[in-house]
Amino acid sequence: RGRGSTPGSFFSTSDHAASTWTTTWDRIDGRRVLPSVARNKTRKASSTRPWDLFPSHTSVRSRSIQPSPRIPTTRTKIERKKKKRRGWNARRRRRRRGAMNVGGFRNVRWNACRNRSNENEGGRKGVGRAWAKLYPNSQAYERGTLDVGDGHRIYYEQHGNRSGKPALVVHGGPGAGCYAKHAQFFDPGHYRIVLVDQRGCGQSTPRGQLVENTTSHLVQDMKRLQDHLDIQSWVLFGGSWGVTLSLAFACAYPERTEAMVLRGICLMRPVEIDWTFGGGASVLRPKAWSGFLQHLEVKEREDPLRSYHKRLLSEDSQVRDAATKAWQSWEMSLFITPRDLTQVWDGEKWEFQSTQQKGGKEEKGPSSSQPSKPEPEKKNAETPQPAIEGKADPNMPSSVAQAMLTAHYSVNHAFLDPNYLLDNVDRFRHIPTVMVHGLYDLVCPMRTAYDLHKRWPEAELRIVSGGHSMYDPAVQAELVRSLDQIRDRKPIRPAPMH
pLDDT digits (tens, 9 = 90+) for 231-241: 999 999 999 99
Q: Is the peptide bond before 174 cis (omega within 30 degrees of 0)?
A: yes
Q: From 257, 278, 310, 230, select the one nearest 427 (Cα to Cα).
A: 257
Give counts: helices (H), strands (E), the chain. Answer: 13, 15
- Whether 33 contacts 25, CB under 8 Å: yes
pLDDT tens digit sequence for 120-168:
333 333 333 444 689 998 889 999 999 999 999 999 999 999 999 999 9
Q: What gap in Å lies between CA 496 and CA 498, rounded to an integer? A: 6
Q: Which residues contact 183 (CB under 8 A, 6 or more apart)?
A: 137, 138, 159, 160, 169, 193, 195
338 pLDDT higher than 60? no
% of the chain exceeding 90 in pLDDT: 53
Q: Is the pLDDT of residue 369 over 60?
A: no
pTM of the model: 0.67
What pLDDT is stored for residue 58 in this prediction?
A: 43
> Rounded mean pLDDT of the chain?
75
For 326, other C-beta atoms within 10 Å of its C-beta total 20
User: Residue range 22-27: average pLDDT?
Assistant: 45
Residue 416 to residue 247: CA distance in whole angstroms: 12
Of 300, 304, 292, 397, the closest CA to residue 334 belongs to 292
Residue-level pLDDT at 310: 94
Residue-level pLDDT at 384: 33
pLDDT, mean of residues 210-214: 95
**Annotation says 240 is catalytic:** yes
**Predicted local distance difference test score (pLDDT) of residue 350:** 54
Q: Which of 16-20, 331-335, 438-442 has the lowest mean pLDDT?
A: 16-20
State the catalytic residue, choosing from 152, 187, 240, 307. 240
The answer to whether the beta carbons of residues 307 and 411 sit under 8 Å apart is no
The distance in angstroms from the start CA to the end CA of the chain is: 73
Better-predicted residue by pLDDT, 357 or 215: 215
CA 396 – CA 385 distance, rounded (Å): 8
Question: Distance (Å, rounded) from C-alpha 273 to C-alpha 267?
Answer: 9
The region of weakest confidence among 156-170, 304-318, 369-383, 404-418 is: 369-383
What is the third-level CATH fold of 140-271+413-488? Rossmann fold (3.40.50)
Of residues 477 and 59, the one with the higher pLDDT is 477
- What is the amino acid identity at position 463? I
pLDDT mean over 427-435: 95
For 96-116, the pLDDT digits (tens) are 554 333 333 333 333 333 333
What ranges make up the beta strands (E) of 226-277? 234-239, 257-263
Which position among 171, 182, 295, 468 bears the catalytic label?
A: 468
Decide if 441 is catalytic: yes
Instruction: Please say whether the dihedral angle defined by the alpha carbons of residues 345, 351, 354 and 360, taken in this order, is positive or negative.
Output: negative
pLDDT-based confidence at residue 490 (cuts at 50, 70, 90): confident
User: Does position 49 have pLDDT exceeding 90, yes or no?
Assistant: no
Q: CA–CA separation, 277 vs 411, rounded Å?
A: 10
Given a cut of 80, is residue 264 above it in pLDDT? yes
pLDDT bucket at 43, cuts 50 / 70 / 90: very low
Q: Strand pairing of 234-239 and 165-170?
A: parallel
Q: What's the pLDDT score for residue 414?
A: 95
Given the residues 187, 197, 221, 441, the one annotated as active site: 441
Residue 206: exposure state from Cβ atoms within 10 A (0-12, 13-18, ≥19): middle
Catalytic residue status for 163: no
Q: How far apart are CA 401 and CA 320, in angstroms?
A: 10
Q: How far apart are CA 462 and CA 263, in angstroms?
A: 10
- 61-65, 218-222, 358-362: segment of lowest average pLDDT: 358-362
How do beta strands 31-32 and 27-28 pair?
Answer: antiparallel
* Strand 433-438 versus strand 257-263 pairing type: parallel
